[in-house]
């Protein structure tokens, strides 16, 4: 026994002298940390999804694809912006590739589709972009936290802003006819009417729409403004046709945060100038973290940095901070999930953020106006609402008594 003890002591002394540490050995023995990632890399939403992928890759490159002494392996799948495909690809990543955690996804409908499966497999997942309201409200999964936003979140303060600051009294709505559109519109609608305004109509447009003419012709001439919610190809097409129909000169255009997001803004023309939208990010935010991010993203992607890219960039930072907090022990899923809930970031491109008790960030919301600066279209920040909760000014228990924002709620009043 004495010889064994001496041998262990000598081994320890040699280990220290050559820089060996038990934790480093443990990390190497465990192998790489596998992160499963999904986003649309083909189809109508490919531009959004590619921005997302570039964002997460940029952060992982900055840290050399390692955390807590372990290599990070990013396994990427194309979910085609289709909930069924997203679920199939997630199953593959979890059951075949053996990922330690999941992240990514774009569509609100995909967010709802994945949640039961993620909970059944007890695999930690973060939603850096998918903004489906009820994921952090009435149907909270145990194994998912959101590092992005809730669809209604920026549009509730914007409803007040439209009435109190822009002085609009009557607004028409035109938006996507699926969960994301309903929830963005719902947040704006309720706050706008609670402030004293009136929503005249809601015109719902399918994602497959090729021409906005039938929908634009329905817009009421009595509206003081039009509130729109689109992204990707459709937002570029919508803003262009809105001007071509002569509507921009007659009725001001405002919208959801994705309408003028930088994934599409550089491809727009003067039709976008003057459009006002709210979101938790703008490329022009003046802070050190954003300047570093924008510089890195523009060098890597050769294009403007969008909210989609910032979402996954900051989302990757969130994941890595959690990994470091548990010394890389990602095999302990419960410990990793607990660490993900406790991250609190102050120096990220969008500004300070922390999770509420429901797993959604409390963060700044910026009202942005499109202006041409130095030959480029930019989302100039004209108002900042600090530390905005998904529940806005309501107590959570009161907010959650109302139905989830939907196609029918809030209703258009006679």
Query: Per-residue pLDDT for 388 more than 90?
Result: yes
Q: What's the rounded Cα separation, in Å, for the pair 279 and 131?
A: 12
* Banded pLDDT at 29 (limits 50, 70, 90): low
Give me the pLDDT at residue 44, please: 84
Tens digit of each residue's pLDDT (9 = 90 or more) over 147-174: 999 999 999 999 999 999 999 999 999 9
Q: Is the pLDDT of residue 390 over 90?
A: yes
Q: Look at residue 200 in the predicted model and tell me its pLDDT.
A: 98
User: 3-class DSSP state for residue 370?
Assistant: strand
Cis peptide leading into residue 322 (ω within 30°): no
Q: Please give the pLDDT value at position 28.
A: 53
Using CA atoms, how far apart are residues 220 and 86, in angstroms rounded to an integer? 38
pLDDT digit string, tens, across residues 191-245: 999 999 999 999 999 989 999 999 999 999 999 999 999 998 999 999 999 999 9
For residues 68, 71, 74, 75, the Cα torsion angle rounded to the nearest 10 degrees is: -130
Which DSSP string do the residues of 300-328 spell out, in sequence order? Answer: HHSSPPPHHHHHHHHHHHHHHHHHHHTTT
pLDDT > 60? residue 27: no
How far apart CA 112 and CA 115 sit, in angstroms, is 6
First to last CA, the chain: 89
Give the residue-averaged pLDDT of 40-56: 94
Distances (CA, A) of 393 to 82, 129, 218, 396: 34, 23, 33, 9
Rounded Cα distance, 358 and 398, in Å = 14
Burial of 171 (0-12, 13-18, 19+ CB in 10 A): buried
């Amino acid at each position: 026994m004495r010889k064994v003890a001496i041998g262990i002591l000598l081994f320890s002394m040699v280990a220290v002298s050559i820089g060996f540490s038990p934790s480093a050995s443990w990390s190497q023995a465990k192998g790489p940390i596998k992160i499963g990632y999904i986003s649309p890399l083909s189809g109508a939403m490919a531009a959004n999804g590619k921005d997302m992928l570039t964002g997460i890759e940029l952060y992982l490159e900055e840290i050399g694809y390692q955390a807590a002494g372990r290599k990070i392996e990013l396994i990427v799948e194309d979910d085609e912006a289709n909930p069924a495909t997203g679920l199939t690809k997630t199953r593959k990543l979890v059951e075949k590739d053996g990922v330690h955690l999941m992240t990514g996804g774009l569509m609100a409908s995909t967010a709802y589709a994945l949640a039961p499966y993620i909970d059944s497999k007890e695999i930690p997942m973060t939603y850096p972009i998918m903004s489906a309201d009820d994921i952090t409200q009435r149907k909270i999964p145990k194994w998912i936290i959101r590092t992005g936003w809730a669809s209604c979140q920026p549009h509730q303060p914007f409803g007040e802003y439209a009435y109190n600051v822009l002085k609009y009294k009557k607004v028409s709505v035109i938006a996507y006819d699926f969960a994301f559109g309903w929830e963005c519109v719902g947040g704006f609608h309720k706050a706008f009417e609670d402030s004293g305004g009136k929503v005249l109509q809601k015109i719902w447009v399918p994602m497959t729409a090729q021409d906005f003419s039938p929908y634009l012709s329905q817009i009421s001439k009595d509206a003081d403004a039009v509130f729109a919610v689109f992204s990707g190809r459709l937002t570029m097409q919508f803003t262009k046709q809105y001007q071509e129909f002569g509507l921009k000169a007659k009725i001001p255009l405002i919208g959801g945060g994705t309408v003028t997001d930088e994934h599409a803004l550089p491809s727009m023309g003067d039709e976008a100038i003057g459009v006002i939208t709210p979101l938790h990010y703008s490329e022009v935010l003046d802070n050190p973290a954003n300047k570093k991010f924008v510089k890195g993203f523009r060098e890597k992607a050769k294009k403007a940095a969008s909210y989609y890219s910032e979402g996954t960039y900051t989302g990757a930072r969130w994941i890595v901070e959690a990994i470091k907090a548990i010394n890389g022990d990602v095999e302990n899923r419960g410990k990793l999930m607990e660490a993900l809930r406790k991250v609190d970031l102050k120096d990220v491109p969008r500004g300070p953020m922390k999770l509420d008790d429901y797993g959604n960030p409390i963060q700044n919301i910026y009202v942005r106006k499109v202006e041409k600066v130095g030959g480029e279209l930019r989302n100039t920040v004209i108002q900042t609402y600090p530390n905005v909760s998904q529940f806005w000014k309501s107590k959570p228990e009161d907010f959650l008594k109302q139905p989830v924002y939907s196609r029918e709620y809030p209703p258009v009043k006679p």
